[in-house]
Structure 1
Amino acid sequence: MVSMALAERAWCVVIPHHPRGARIARQRLTNELRGAVHPSLLADAVAVLAELVGNAVRHASPLPGGVIRVAWRLRPADAGIEHDTVEVRVTDGGATAEQPRIRAIPTDAIDGRGLSIVAALSDRWGVDRDGLGQSVWAELSGTFDHERRESP
């Protein structure tokens, strides 16, 4: 029997620092990973990416040229890891306010839950800063309860 491990793959897309950028990013991620990962993992990765891009548009400055850089990486399950892993990363010019964090918000608030959603759907997430801006990233894996996620 011959076993072939799929190689890690990565993508990077530059999108406008504008709400339409989230749609572009979601479409590209979906097109690249459809069929490569379980549909539930893809749905979670798309939701997380949408939240991170939305936060970058609402709360951060753009990178030079009025853009945001969106990247994702697929590490397929192999002998080293048990489940497919998708990492999404959104890089912007940073915000003048505090670092992105989960906030306590009233139950009747109409927004402010983005990073709570990211934390709930991902295995881990974080923020990296350098002299050029900040990247907010999240790592998601295929470790989910199929019955709970796929039942109507």
Structure 2
Amino acid sequence: MSRAVLLPHAPSSVSTARRRLCSDLHDAGFDSARVNDAALVLSELLSNALRHAAPLPEPFPPDCVEASWGVGADSGDGWLEIAVTDGGAATLPRVARPSRSALGGRGLEIVQHIAAKWGTEVDGGVTTVWAVLEVAVDALEPCARAEGAGSAAVPQGVGEPQTARA
């Protein structure tokens, strides 16, 4: 299972993307805890893109960002990848160290805590921030049957990596 959606560069896109992701993961048989983790990661990545980055450049439709997700398995390990692609910003996303009284700045720290790994890829004027969550392989069985045993889904629209995923 994989999906890529273009969304308006607007705060309302966060709830739209969360609903679509949660619906897809529930339909695929994921448990509520993993669905909630995935929704939180997507919310943080998309909120950061909307707050700090520009919309996607042409040839994309004007004032849009892209959210994508996909599930698959490699060597008995299951994964769920969530990515947000935008028009980039002056600086790359990084984990901040806000003061205890700061009202924000903890989003990527939350993503880092939930995800097995996360990173950033830059391709021309397009930036993708991605996170990979580990999932139980048995949670992927319905997806694998639907797509053919042993195949791994790859999120659509993420682009070619400019930095290696560790």
> Equivalents in 2 of 1:17, 1:35: separation in Å?
27
1:86 corresponds to: 80
Which has the higher mean CA deviation after the structures are superposed, 15-24 or 32-41?
32-41
1:139 alignment partner, one of 128, 132, 137: 132
Offset, 1:139: 0.2
Gaps spanning 5+ residues in structure 1: where? Answer: 1-8, 144-152
State the TM-score, normalized to the length of structure 1. 0.82
2:118 alignment partner, one of 122, 125, 135: 125
Which has the higher mean CA deviation after the structures are superposed, 12-21 or 33-42?
33-42
1:66 corresponds to: 63
Gaps spanning 5+ residues in structure 2: where? Answer: 137-166
1:18·1:57 contact (CA, 8 Å) conserved in 2?
Answer: yes
> Equivalents in 2 of 1:136, 1:69: separation in Å?
11
1:33 corresponds to: 25
1:75 aligns with 2:72: yes
- Determine which structure has greater relative contact order: mean sequence separation of CA pairs < 8 Å that are 6+ residues apart, divided by chain length: 2
Larger radius of gyration: 1
Which portions of structure 1, spanning 4 or more consecutive aligned residues, are displaced by more than 2 angstroms? none
Within 5 Å, give how 1:11-30 maps onto structure 2.
11-30=3-22
State the TM-score, normalized to the length of structure 2. 0.75
Amino acid at match of 1:11: R
Report the count of equivalent residues: 131
> Equivalents in 1 of 2:9, 2:27: separation in Å?
29
1:100·1:127 contact (CA, 8 Å) conserved in 2?
Answer: yes
Query: Alpha-carbon deviations, 1:58-96, whole Å to 9, x = none?
Result: 0000013100011101115x7x223x3110000000002
1:147 corresponds to: none
**Matched position secondary structure for 1:34:** helix
Offset, 1:137: 0.2
2:104 corresponds to: 111
> Equivalents in 1 of 2:36, 2:97: separation in Å?
26
1:75·1:86 contact (CA, 8 Å) conserved in 2?
Answer: yes
> Equivalents in 1 of 2:104, 2:120: separation in Å?
21
